[in-house]
Amino acid sequence: MNTKYAIGIDIGGTNTDMGLVDRNGNCIRNIRFSTSDHADVERFVDCLVDHIEILISDINMEELSGIGVGVPNGNYYTGCIDNAVNLNFNGKIHLRDMIRKRIDAEVVISNDANAAAYGEMIYGAAQGMRHFIMFTLGTGVGSGIVIDGKLVHGFDGYAGELGHAILHPEGRLCGCGRKGCLEQYTSARGIKRTYLELLELSGSKFSEKELENISSKEIAEKAVQGDVLAIQTYQMVGHALGLAMANAVTFSSPEAIFLMGGPVKAGKILLDPIRKSFDDNILSIYKGNVKILVSGLDENQSAILGAAALTNKV
Protein backbone atom coordinates (compact mmCIF):
# COMPACT_ATOMS: atom_id res chain seq x y z
CA MET A 1 0.00 0.00 0.00
CA ASN A 2 1.18 3.49 -0.75
CA THR A 3 -0.96 5.21 1.80
CA LYS A 4 0.85 7.79 3.84
CA TYR A 5 -1.80 9.05 6.22
CA ALA A 6 -4.69 8.04 8.46
CA ILE A 7 -7.22 10.11 10.30
CA GLY A 8 -7.71 9.32 13.97
CA ILE A 9 -10.82 10.49 15.81
CA ASP A 10 -11.31 10.13 19.56
CA ILE A 11 -14.87 10.87 20.63
CA GLY A 12 -15.12 11.57 24.34
CA GLY A 13 -18.06 12.72 26.42
CA THR A 14 -16.74 16.29 26.61
CA ASN A 15 -14.51 16.78 23.55
CA THR A 16 -13.77 15.15 20.24
CA ASP A 17 -10.09 15.12 19.28
CA MET A 18 -9.03 14.34 15.76
CA GLY A 19 -5.87 14.48 13.74
CA LEU A 20 -4.09 13.62 10.52
CA VAL A 21 -1.41 11.04 11.33
CA ASP A 22 1.50 9.99 9.12
CA ARG A 23 2.85 6.47 8.93
CA ASN A 24 5.49 7.19 11.55
CA GLY A 25 2.88 8.20 14.09
CA ASN A 26 3.37 11.94 13.80
CA CYS A 27 0.20 13.92 14.25
CA ILE A 28 0.54 16.56 11.54
CA ARG A 29 -2.60 18.52 12.22
CA ASN A 30 -5.02 18.45 15.18
CA ILE A 31 -8.57 19.63 15.71
CA ARG A 32 -10.60 19.65 18.91
CA PHE A 33 -14.29 20.45 19.12
CA SER A 34 -16.97 20.01 21.75
CA THR A 35 -18.92 16.75 21.77
CA SER A 36 -21.27 17.74 24.55
CA ASP A 37 -22.45 20.91 22.77
CA HIS A 38 -24.25 18.70 20.25
CA ALA A 39 -27.37 17.18 21.71
CA ASP A 40 -28.39 15.97 18.25
CA VAL A 41 -26.22 13.30 16.62
CA GLU A 42 -26.99 14.59 13.08
CA ARG A 43 -25.50 17.98 13.93
CA PHE A 44 -22.54 16.30 15.63
CA VAL A 45 -21.79 14.28 12.49
CA ASP A 46 -22.15 17.42 10.32
CA CYS A 47 -19.51 19.05 12.45
CA LEU A 48 -17.32 15.93 12.43
CA VAL A 49 -17.46 15.64 8.63
CA ASP A 50 -16.63 19.32 8.21
CA HIS A 51 -13.52 18.79 10.30
CA ILE A 52 -12.54 15.60 8.42
CA GLU A 53 -12.74 17.63 5.20
CA ILE A 54 -10.41 20.22 6.66
CA LEU A 55 -7.89 17.52 7.63
CA ILE A 56 -7.90 15.89 4.19
CA SER A 57 -7.92 19.15 2.23
CA ASP A 58 -4.14 19.14 1.81
CA ILE A 59 -3.65 15.49 0.81
CA ASN A 60 -4.74 13.22 -2.04
CA MET A 61 -7.44 10.74 -1.05
CA GLU A 62 -5.26 7.93 -2.48
CA GLU A 63 -2.78 8.72 0.25
CA LEU A 64 -5.37 8.11 3.00
CA SER A 65 -5.58 4.58 4.47
CA GLY A 66 -8.80 5.40 6.22
CA ILE A 67 -10.54 6.98 9.16
CA GLY A 68 -10.32 5.33 12.57
CA VAL A 69 -12.75 6.23 15.34
CA GLY A 70 -12.30 5.36 19.01
CA VAL A 71 -15.48 5.91 20.99
CA PRO A 72 -17.03 4.44 24.17
CA ASN A 73 -19.14 1.38 23.20
CA GLY A 74 -17.96 1.61 19.59
CA ASN A 75 -18.53 -1.73 17.86
CA TYR A 76 -16.00 -2.88 15.28
CA TYR A 77 -18.39 -5.24 13.50
CA THR A 78 -21.47 -3.06 13.22
CA GLY A 79 -19.75 0.34 13.04
CA CYS A 80 -22.26 1.60 15.60
CA ILE A 81 -22.11 3.28 18.99
CA ASP A 82 -24.37 1.32 21.32
CA ASN A 83 -25.92 3.14 24.26
CA ALA A 84 -22.81 4.99 25.41
CA VAL A 85 -23.90 6.41 28.74
CA ASN A 86 -21.36 9.23 28.74
CA LEU A 87 -22.45 10.61 25.35
CA ASN A 88 -25.53 12.71 24.66
CA PHE A 89 -26.53 10.40 21.81
CA ASN A 90 -28.61 7.56 23.18
CA GLY A 91 -29.53 4.29 21.54
CA LYS A 92 -27.78 2.78 18.54
CA ILE A 93 -25.90 5.32 16.39
CA HIS A 94 -24.86 4.06 12.94
CA LEU A 95 -21.77 6.23 12.95
CA ARG A 96 -19.75 4.39 10.28
CA ASP A 97 -22.59 4.58 7.76
CA MET A 98 -23.28 8.22 8.61
CA ILE A 99 -19.65 9.17 7.90
CA ARG A 100 -19.33 7.02 4.78
CA LYS A 101 -22.43 8.59 3.25
CA ARG A 102 -20.49 11.82 3.17
CA ILE A 103 -16.81 10.82 2.84
CA ASP A 104 -15.49 8.21 0.42
CA ALA A 105 -12.99 6.45 2.70
CA GLU A 106 -12.72 3.32 4.79
CA VAL A 107 -14.10 3.97 8.28
CA VAL A 108 -13.17 1.69 11.20
CA ILE A 109 -14.85 2.05 14.59
CA SER A 110 -13.94 0.47 17.90
CA ASN A 111 -14.04 1.34 21.56
CA ASP A 112 -11.41 3.67 23.00
CA ALA A 113 -9.50 1.00 24.93
CA ASN A 114 -9.18 -1.18 21.83
CA ALA A 115 -7.91 1.85 19.94
CA ALA A 116 -5.37 2.48 22.72
CA ALA A 117 -4.08 -1.09 22.42
CA TYR A 118 -3.76 -0.86 18.66
CA GLY A 119 -2.08 2.53 18.88
CA GLU A 120 0.50 1.03 21.20
CA MET A 121 1.16 -1.80 18.74
CA ILE A 122 1.43 0.36 15.62
CA TYR A 123 3.18 3.46 17.04
CA GLY A 124 4.15 2.81 20.67
CA ALA A 125 6.02 0.52 23.03
CA ALA A 126 4.23 -2.64 21.82
CA GLN A 127 5.72 -2.43 18.33
CA GLY A 128 6.78 -5.92 17.33
CA MET A 129 4.70 -7.60 20.05
CA ARG A 130 1.96 -10.01 18.97
CA HIS A 131 0.43 -10.83 22.36
CA PHE A 132 -0.34 -8.15 24.91
CA ILE A 133 -3.10 -6.55 26.98
CA MET A 134 -3.72 -2.83 27.49
CA PHE A 135 -5.45 -1.54 30.63
CA THR A 136 -6.68 2.05 30.41
CA LEU A 137 -7.29 3.67 33.79
CA GLY A 138 -9.49 6.75 33.89
CA THR A 139 -13.04 7.53 35.01
CA GLY A 140 -13.59 3.83 34.32
CA VAL A 141 -11.22 0.98 33.48
CA GLY A 142 -11.07 -0.25 29.88
CA SER A 143 -9.00 -2.92 28.21
CA GLY A 144 -7.87 -3.92 24.75
CA ILE A 145 -6.50 -7.37 24.03
CA VAL A 146 -4.13 -8.26 21.21
CA ILE A 147 -3.61 -11.92 20.33
CA ASP A 148 -1.41 -12.98 17.41
CA GLY A 149 -1.11 -9.35 16.33
CA LYS A 150 -4.86 -8.82 16.11
CA LEU A 151 -7.34 -7.02 18.34
CA VAL A 152 -9.79 -9.42 19.97
CA HIS A 153 -13.35 -8.34 19.15
CA GLY A 154 -15.13 -11.60 20.00
CA PHE A 155 -18.40 -12.95 18.69
CA ASP A 156 -20.33 -9.70 19.00
CA GLY A 157 -17.61 -7.02 19.01
CA TYR A 158 -17.62 -6.45 22.78
CA ALA A 159 -14.53 -8.39 23.85
CA GLY A 160 -12.09 -6.77 26.28
CA GLU A 161 -14.22 -5.46 29.14
CA LEU A 162 -11.80 -6.49 31.88
CA GLY A 163 -12.77 -3.43 33.94
CA HIS A 164 -16.01 -5.32 34.50
CA ALA A 165 -14.48 -8.62 35.55
CA ILE A 166 -15.83 -9.25 39.04
CA LEU A 167 -13.08 -9.12 41.65
CA HIS A 168 -15.17 -9.05 44.83
CA PRO A 169 -18.62 -10.67 44.35
CA GLU A 170 -20.02 -8.88 47.40
CA GLY A 171 -18.03 -5.70 46.84
CA ARG A 172 -18.75 -2.14 45.75
CA LEU A 173 -21.79 -1.42 43.59
CA CYS A 174 -20.71 -0.67 40.03
CA GLY A 175 -22.36 1.61 37.48
CA CYS A 176 -23.13 -1.53 35.45
CA GLY A 177 -25.54 -2.64 38.19
CA ARG A 178 -23.39 -5.50 39.48
CA LYS A 179 -21.04 -5.64 42.44
CA GLY A 180 -17.27 -5.74 42.84
CA CYS A 181 -16.09 -4.97 39.27
CA LEU A 182 -12.37 -4.25 38.90
CA GLU A 183 -13.03 -0.65 37.86
CA GLN A 184 -14.68 0.10 41.21
CA TYR A 185 -11.26 -0.41 42.82
CA THR A 186 -8.80 0.78 40.18
CA SER A 187 -10.36 3.68 38.25
CA ALA A 188 -9.63 7.27 39.35
CA ARG A 189 -12.95 7.20 41.22
CA GLY A 190 -12.17 3.82 42.74
CA ILE A 191 -8.83 5.12 44.03
CA LYS A 192 -10.55 8.11 45.59
CA ARG A 193 -13.20 5.91 47.15
CA THR A 194 -10.60 3.65 48.74
CA TYR A 195 -8.81 6.67 50.18
CA LEU A 196 -12.04 8.11 51.60
CA GLU A 197 -12.96 4.75 53.14
CA LEU A 198 -9.55 4.54 54.81
CA LEU A 199 -9.90 8.14 56.04
CA GLU A 200 -13.29 7.33 57.52
CA LEU A 201 -11.96 4.20 59.22
CA SER A 202 -9.08 6.20 60.69
CA GLY A 203 -11.54 8.67 62.23
CA SER A 204 -9.93 11.68 60.50
CA LYS A 205 -12.09 14.77 60.15
CA PHE A 206 -12.39 16.41 56.75
CA SER A 207 -15.03 18.69 55.34
CA GLU A 208 -17.45 17.27 52.78
CA LYS A 209 -16.06 19.66 50.23
CA GLU A 210 -12.47 18.62 50.77
CA LEU A 211 -13.43 15.02 50.26
CA GLU A 212 -15.53 15.69 47.20
CA ASN A 213 -12.84 17.57 45.37
CA ILE A 214 -9.82 15.42 46.08
CA SER A 215 -8.42 13.69 42.98
CA SER A 216 -6.48 10.47 42.50
CA LYS A 217 -3.58 12.72 41.47
CA GLU A 218 -3.63 14.58 44.81
CA ILE A 219 -3.79 11.26 46.66
CA ALA A 220 -0.71 10.15 44.72
CA GLU A 221 1.05 13.38 45.73
CA LYS A 222 0.15 12.75 49.37
CA ALA A 223 1.57 9.23 49.03
CA VAL A 224 4.86 10.61 47.69
CA GLN A 225 4.96 12.96 50.69
CA GLY A 226 4.59 9.98 53.04
CA ASP A 227 0.87 10.15 53.91
CA VAL A 228 0.25 6.68 55.35
CA LEU A 229 -3.36 6.36 54.20
CA ALA A 230 -2.51 7.54 50.70
CA ILE A 231 0.32 4.98 50.50
CA GLN A 232 -2.05 2.29 51.78
CA THR A 233 -4.60 3.35 49.14
CA TYR A 234 -2.18 2.82 46.29
CA GLN A 235 -1.05 -0.47 47.81
CA MET A 236 -4.65 -1.70 47.78
CA VAL A 237 -5.22 -0.41 44.24
CA GLY A 238 -2.00 -2.05 43.07
CA HIS A 239 -2.93 -5.28 44.80
CA ALA A 240 -6.27 -5.39 42.98
CA LEU A 241 -4.74 -4.60 39.59
CA GLY A 242 -1.88 -7.07 40.01
CA LEU A 243 -4.32 -9.85 40.87
CA ALA A 244 -6.60 -8.99 37.93
CA MET A 245 -3.58 -8.95 35.62
CA ALA A 246 -2.33 -12.32 36.91
CA ASN A 247 -5.79 -13.74 36.18
CA ALA A 248 -5.81 -12.19 32.70
CA VAL A 249 -2.50 -13.94 31.99
CA THR A 250 -4.15 -17.35 32.52
CA PHE A 251 -6.39 -16.46 29.57
CA SER A 252 -4.06 -15.28 26.82
CA SER A 253 -0.49 -15.66 28.16
CA PRO A 254 0.67 -12.27 26.85
CA GLU A 255 4.23 -11.01 26.46
CA ALA A 256 3.35 -7.78 28.27
CA ILE A 257 0.59 -5.90 30.03
CA PHE A 258 0.45 -2.15 29.37
CA LEU A 259 -1.03 0.60 31.49
CA MET A 260 -2.27 3.97 30.28
CA GLY A 261 -4.26 6.85 31.75
CA GLY A 262 -4.26 9.51 34.45
CA PRO A 263 -3.77 7.31 37.54
CA VAL A 264 -0.70 5.70 35.93
CA LYS A 265 1.10 9.03 36.34
CA ALA A 266 1.40 8.15 40.03
CA GLY A 267 4.43 6.12 38.84
CA LYS A 268 6.22 3.90 41.37
CA ILE A 269 3.57 4.61 44.02
CA LEU A 270 1.15 2.57 41.85
CA LEU A 271 3.52 0.41 39.79
CA ASP A 272 5.51 -1.10 42.67
CA PRO A 273 2.40 -2.54 44.41
CA ILE A 274 1.05 -3.74 41.04
CA ARG A 275 4.29 -5.58 40.27
CA LYS A 276 4.43 -7.09 43.77
CA SER A 277 0.85 -8.34 43.60
CA PHE A 278 1.33 -9.58 40.02
CA ASP A 279 4.42 -11.50 41.08
CA ASP A 280 2.69 -12.93 44.16
CA ASN A 281 -0.39 -14.04 42.21
CA ILE A 282 0.96 -15.24 38.87
CA LEU A 283 0.94 -18.95 38.06
CA SER A 284 4.49 -20.34 38.14
CA ILE A 285 4.63 -21.32 34.43
CA TYR A 286 4.30 -17.62 33.50
CA LYS A 287 6.57 -16.23 36.22
CA GLY A 288 9.22 -13.83 34.98
CA ASN A 289 7.93 -13.99 31.39
CA VAL A 290 5.30 -11.22 31.42
CA LYS A 291 6.37 -7.58 31.50
CA ILE A 292 4.28 -4.82 33.08
CA LEU A 293 4.88 -1.63 31.12
CA VAL A 294 3.60 1.90 30.86
CA SER A 295 2.37 3.13 27.48
CA GLY A 296 5.10 4.63 25.32
CA LEU A 297 2.80 7.13 23.63
CA ASP A 298 2.54 10.84 24.40
CA GLU A 299 -0.67 11.04 26.43
CA ASN A 300 -1.90 14.12 24.57
CA GLN A 301 -1.82 12.24 21.29
CA SER A 302 -2.36 8.64 22.30
CA ALA A 303 -6.13 8.64 21.72
CA ILE A 304 -5.79 10.11 18.21
CA LEU A 305 -2.91 7.76 17.38
CA GLY A 306 -4.88 4.79 18.68
CA ALA A 307 -7.87 5.67 16.53
CA ALA A 308 -5.65 6.22 13.48
CA ALA A 309 -3.98 2.83 14.11
CA LEU A 310 -7.34 1.09 13.71
CA THR A 311 -6.99 1.61 9.96
CA ASN A 312 -3.76 -0.39 10.35
CA LYS A 313 -2.24 0.52 7.01
CA VAL A 314 -0.28 3.63 7.89
Residues that bind a copy of itself (CB under 8 A): 82, 130-131, 145, 147-148, 150, 152-162, 164-166, 169, 176-178, 243, 246-248, 250-255, 281, 283-286, 289-290
Q: What is the nearest approach in angstroms of a copy of itself to the Cβ of residue 183?
A: 11
Continuous H helices in the chain: 41-56, 95-100, 112-123, 183-186, 188-202, 208-213, 216-224, 228-252, 268-281, 302-309
Question: What is the C-alpha separation between 280 and 219, in angstroms, rounded?
Answer: 25
Nearest CB to a copy of itself, comparing residues 120 and 161: 161
Least distance in angstroms from the C-beta of 114 to a copy of itself: 12
At closest approach, how far in Å is the CB of 56 from a copy of itself? Answer: 32
In the complex, what is the shortest distance from the CB of residue 144 to a copy of itself, in angstroms, rounded to a whole number?
11
Smaller CB separation from a copy of itself, 99 or 237 = 237
Of residues 91 and 267, the one with the C-beta less far from a copy of itself: 91
Looking at the Cβ atoms of 115 and 304, the one nearer to a copy of itself is 115
Q: How many residues does the chain have?
A: 314
82/197 with CB nearer a copy of itself: 82
Residues sharing a CB contact under 8 Å with residue 314, sequence separation 6 or more, in sequence order: 3, 4, 5, 6, 21, 22, 23, 25, 65, 122, 308
Rg (CA), the chain: 20
CB 256, min distance to a copy of itself, A: 8
Q: Which is nearer to a copy of itself, 38 or 239 (CB)?
A: 239
The answer for residues whose C-beta is within 8 angstroms of residue 105's C-beta and 6 or more apart is: 7, 61, 64, 66, 67
Closest Cα to residue 95, out of 46, 151, 53, 34? 46
What does the angle CA 149 – CA 153 – CA 154 come to, to the nearest 5 degrees? 115
Residue 110 bridge partners (DSSP): 70
Report the alpha-carbon distance of residue 159 to residue 152 in Å, rounded: 6
Shortest reach from residue 280's CB to a copy of itself, in Å: 8
